[in-house]
């Protein structure tokens, strides 16, 4: 039963107002990206442990109506492997907030129009190489052509903006920086270069793989001149091309953390609430959603959890603790 409440800011212990909710709809994925998942042996969540669309909608509604959240991003795993996803998009879009999606794009040609019709506006497509053999090595799937077609499908469906998320790794794909920049300009999409983070499936955090965001910008600027764009709370620093043909973003999670402006929280596929991508604690919202408690009790649990949000992830510092779960299990 819904209990009417007036929206109030949800402020964490460091004065940051939380307004952005990332929701993982599945832990499953049709890729096996090396820095995200092992090639084999993943134990998938039983279907009954995954939140239903009704439960996700209720949780999102509480965040929006009680705390004034203004953005929702659906993630995974790969969200497009969740059956009937446009139905969930439609449910969330009716709540009156911006709904976005992050996908690997491999099946996007099949879903882009339905997602747009359901109310999806924005989409991010993960793509770490434009080279067929390298893409196969990184993802363990020969799907580059379908991903590229998926990008076209997103454009054809009228989704805007279409953003490409490219994780740069030293000695692996950092020779493609200019290729990605030119690809974005040609397609009319925004490429966002992301620093490699310690969420890979292996046991060792290799800081040597990090390509600093500043180096990426300098590399592009030497070939295609750039001008900075004023940044808000979004994780990406933005730069526009001086000739007016588009822009590029960099997410410096390691070398220049943006924790001080973080307004995001996360809900995993099985209903665990996380106040940071790198959080070591989770809060069980599924148990509440499946109990007899009202919305006020769920809202209090959300508020109490945000009250534990830390100042930052501490990557590169002595006290950094790596999450026990892989990126696909947490939600991108």
The confidence score (pLDDT) of residue 3 equals 46
CA dihedral 115, 117, 120, 123 (to 10 degrees): 60
Count: domains in the chain:
1
Q: Is residue 6 part of a domain?
A: no
Digit-coded pLDDT (tens) for 93-142: 999 999 999 999 999 999 999 999 999 999 999 999 999 999 999 988 88
Which CATH number covers residue 71?
A: 3.20.20.70
Q: Is residue 15 part of a domain?
A: no
> Which residues, given as ranges, of the chain have pLDDT below 50?
1-4, 201-204, 314-322, 327-328
Q: Is residue 11 part of a domain?
A: no
Q: Is residue 121 part of a domain?
A: yes
Q: Is residue 255 part of a domain?
A: yes
Residue 65 to residue 53: CA distance in whole angstroms:
18
CB 199 within 8 A of CB 326: yes
Residue 88 to residue 84: CA distance in whole angstroms:
7
CB 120 within 8 A of CB 100: yes
Q: Is residue 190 part of a domain?
A: yes
Domain of 75, in residue numbers: 20-330
Beta strands in the chain (DSSP E): 20-24, 71-75, 98-103, 122-126, 162-168, 190-195, 226-229, 237-241, 247-251, 264-267, 272-274, 283-284
CA-nearest of 5, 7, 261, 32 to 137 is 32
Q: Is residue 1 part of a domain?
A: no
Q: Is residue 4 part of a domain?
A: no
Digit-coded pLDDT (tens) for 303-329: 999 999 978 654 444 344 445 555 445
């Amino acid at each position: 039963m819904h209990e009417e409440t007036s929206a109030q800011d949800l402020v964490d212990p460091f004065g940051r107002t939380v307004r952005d909710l990332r929701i993982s709809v599945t832990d499953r994925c049709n890729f096996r990206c090396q820095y995200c998942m092992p090639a084999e042996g993943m134990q998938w969540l039983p279907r009954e442990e995954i939140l239903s669309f009704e439960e996700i909608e209720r949780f999102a509604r509480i965040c929006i109506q009680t705390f004034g959240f203004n953005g929702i991003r659906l993630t995974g795993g790969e969200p497009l492997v969740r059956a009937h996803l446009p139905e969930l998009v439609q449910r969330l879009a009716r709540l009156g907030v911006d709904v976005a999606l992050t996908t690997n794009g491999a099946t996007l040609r099949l879903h882009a129009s339905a997602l747009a019709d359901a109310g999806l506006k924005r989409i991010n497509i993960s793509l770490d190489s434009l080279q067929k053999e390298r893409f196969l090595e990184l993802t363990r799937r020969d799907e580059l052509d379908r991903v590229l077609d998926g990008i076209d499908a997103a454009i054809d469906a009228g989704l805007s903006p279409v953003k490409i998320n490219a994780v740069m790794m030293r000695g692996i794909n950092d020779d493609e920086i200019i290729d990605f920049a030119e690809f974005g300009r040609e397609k009319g999409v925004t490429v966002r270069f992301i620093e490699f983070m310690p969420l890979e499936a292996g046991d060792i955090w290799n800081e040597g793989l990090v390509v600093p965001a500043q180096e990426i910008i300098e590399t592009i600027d030497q070939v295609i001149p750039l001008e900075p764009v004023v940044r808000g709370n979004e994780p990406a620093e933005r730069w526009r091309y001086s000739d007016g043909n588009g822009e590029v973003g960099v997410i410096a999670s390691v070398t220049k953390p943006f924790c001080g402006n973080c307004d995001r929280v996360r809900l995993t596929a099985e209903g665990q609430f996380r106040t940071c991508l790198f959080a070591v604690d989770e809060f069980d919202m599924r148990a509440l959603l499946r109990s007899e408690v009202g919305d006020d009790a769920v809202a209090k649990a959300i508020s109490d959890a945000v009250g534990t949000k830390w100042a930052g992830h501490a990557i590169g510092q002595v006290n950094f603790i790596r999450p026990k779960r892989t990126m696909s299990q947490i939600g991108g």
